[in-house]
Amino acid sequence: MKVLVAGYGNVGKAFVKLIFEKKGKLEELKDIEIGGIVNRKGIMVGYKDQFTVDIEGDVFTAYEKIKPDIVVDTMSANYKDGNPSLSLYKLALKDGTSVITTNKAPLALAFNEIMGLVGKGRLGFQGTVMSGTPSINLLRILPGSEVKRIRGILNGTTNFILTMMYNGQPFESALKEAQRLGYAEEDPTLDINGFDAAAKLTILVNFAMKKSVTIRDIKFTGIQGIKGAYDGHKKVKLIAYADENEIEVSPKVLTPEDPLYHIDGVENALEIMTDIQTTIIRGPGAGPINAAYGAFSDLILLKRNFI
């Protein structure tokens, strides 16, 4: 089975590395071949794990030339219109080619349109929410239950900053430390203003609660302007929340009785309440290796016909 990797930044490189590291150990990878990789310079092809730029062109040129069985999208998010990823997904799924993605934008903008094309071509998107910590794939194994409420900490950057602030640092110095450690981008706007968490919540509610919403429908408030609210044992956390009546991202003051109170640093957590039970998962929600593992786990599950 030929895989086309679209995007070759840190996540794309980590994904390809995982393939070659695990290839001799997992039955599901024995027939997997990296048919090509698209980066900003062109299309890279090669033999085994050696790739060089060989063909000029974009992801669509690569798709036509390589004719992959699976497209793995690790490209940067474009929240304006979702492209080129959104158009690539439509093309691939209509052809019966499967798609695995770590790119939130297409699903945050057009989740139900994309899902409507899933058939022979399947869709894996664990890497879009909590990276490699199984949020989407956990929801796949709750058959027959009805998700009533979702509540979580879905952005590691803001959680790190709020943890630093709880420990006495002002917002600006906490943000600079997050940038120094690589947790925050040079322009951290989409994290700080709550947009990133809202995009993840959009994907979750569409998938788990059968909603029909886009990122444009989600109310979100970020952490800019927060001064304190750390009296006693209380902590402020940026909470993504959805139930039958409300979908929003906003800062909330939590007490120690709340399980999300104890999620600190860049860790993420998700509380899923169904008509049967409540489940809480926690784990790393960012970083190239974790995001790559999200895509890698989808590939294994796809080969097992679980997706």
Tell whether 167 is in a known binding site: no
List helix spans (H) across the chain. 10-22, 59-66, 85-95, 104-115, 136-140, 156-166, 171-180, 189-192, 195-208, 288-303
Helix axes 10-22, 288-303, angle to 10 degrees: 50
Tell whether 8 is in a known binding site: yes
pLDDT digits (tens), the chain, 307 positions: 999 999 999 999 999 999 999 999 999 999 999 999 999 999 999 877 788 877 889 999 999 999 999 999 999 999 999 999 999 999 999 999 999 999 999 999 999 999 999 999 999 999 999 998 999 999 999 989 999 999 999 999 999 999 999 998 999 999 999 999 888 889 999 999 999 999 999 999 999 999 999 999 999 999 998 876 566 789 999 999 999 999 999 999 999 999 999 999 999 999 999 999 999 999 987 788 999 999 999 999 999 999 9
What's at 28, amino acid-wise?
Answer: E
Q: Are 75 and 82 in contact (CB under 8 A)?
A: no
Kindly list the structural domains of the chain, giving each domain's residue range(s) and its CATH number in brackets, ordered by start.
Answer: 2-132+288-303 (3.40.50.720), 147-284 (3.30.360.10)
235 is catalytic: no
Residue 216 DSSP class: G
Tell whether 248 is in a known binding site: no
The structure's pTM equals 0.95
State the catalytic residue, choosing from 90, 200, 235, 303. Answer: 200
